């Protein structure tokens, strides 16, 4: 994998993580967190799709490695929703 393929992979994972955060309605952090959520979402989404016997619908190949776009977005949205259940929410008084 070249440096350009790695950068494209990080960009795609960041977009998928950001979309997952937007779907879940909770932001867990910044740009690096979105990239991590994209990768975690890809692992979680692919695992859930395998358990349910669902096909990989939208997969792109980056550096010879498949990256499941749809399952990454769905997996990251589920992971962010799970994180938001256990995170501390601040209440502001005016």
Tens digits of residue pLDDT in 17-57: 899 888 888 887 788 888 888 888 888 988 998 899 998 88
State the total domains in the chain. Answer: 1
Q: Using CB atoms within 10 A of its CB, is residue 3 exposed (0-12), middle (13-18) or buried (19+)?
A: exposed
pTM score, whole prediction: 0.81
- The residue among 38, 46, 37, 35 whose CA lies nearest residue 71 is 46
Structure tokens at 54: 């669902």
Count CA atoms closer than 13 A to 27's CA, side-chain side.
6
Residue 1 lies in a domain: no
Residue 29 lies in a domain: yes
pLDDT above 70 (res 14): yes
Handedness of CA 32, 69, 49, 80 (dihedral sign): positive
Residue 3 lies in a domain: no
Domain span at 53: 9-86
């Amino acid at each position: 994998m070249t440096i350009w393929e790695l950068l494209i992979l990080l960009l795609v994972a960041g977009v998928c993580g950001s979309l997952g955060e937007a779907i879940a309605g909770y932001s867990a952090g910044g740009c690096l967190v979105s990239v991590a959520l994209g990768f975690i979402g890809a692992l979680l989404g692919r695992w859930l799709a395998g358990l349910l016997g669902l096909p990989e619908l939208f997969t792109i190949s980056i550096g010879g490695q498949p990256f499941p776009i749809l399952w990454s977005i769905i997996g990251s949205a589920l992971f962010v929703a799970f994180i938001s259940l256990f995170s501390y929410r601040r209440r502001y008084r005016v």
